[in-house]
Amino acid sequence: MPDRSRQGWLVILDTLEEDIAAAEKAQHDDGVTKAGHWDPPSGIGPIPSDLVDRAQRIREAQRRTVAMLQAAVKDNRQHHALIGAVNASTAPNRAVYLDVAG
C-alpha cells in the first residue's frame, strides 16, 4: 500500500509542476489557457516524508506564479485604460462618412 500512496503523490506533484509551467508559458503566449479544476487528493494517505521538500518547492513556485500573473493582469488593465483614454481623446466629435457610391 505505501508504494501505491507514493506513486499517487508522485503523479500529483508532477501534475502540479506541469500546471505551473503551463501558467508561466501562458503569460508569454497570445492565447489564453484555462487551468483545469483541481481537487486535493483523498484516499492516498499522507505525503511521504521524502516528498515534502518537493511539495514545498512547488507551493513556493505556485506563489511566485500567482504573483507574476497578478502583476501581468494589473499591467494589462493599465494598458487597456491608457488605450481607452487615447482613443477617447482622438475620437472625432462628429460623424465621419465615406461616399463609396459616388
13 CB burial (10 A radius; 0-12, 13-18, 19+): middle
Domain of residue 84: give its range: 2-31+44-90
- Among 9, 17, 10, residue whose Cα is nearest residue 61: 17
- What is the spatial distance between Cα 67 and Cα 25, in angstroms, rounded to a whole number? 14
Q: What is the pLDDT of residue 1?
A: 47
Residues of the chain with pLDDT under 70: 1-2, 29-36, 87-89, 91-92, 95, 102
**Residue 95 domain flag:** no
Considering its fold, how many domains does the chain have in total? Answer: 1
**Residue 23 domain flag:** yes
**Residue 52 domain flag:** yes
- What is the spatial distance between Cα 75 and Cα 67, in angstroms, rounded to a whole number? 12
DSSP string across 46-67: SPPGGGHHHHHHHHHHHHHHHH
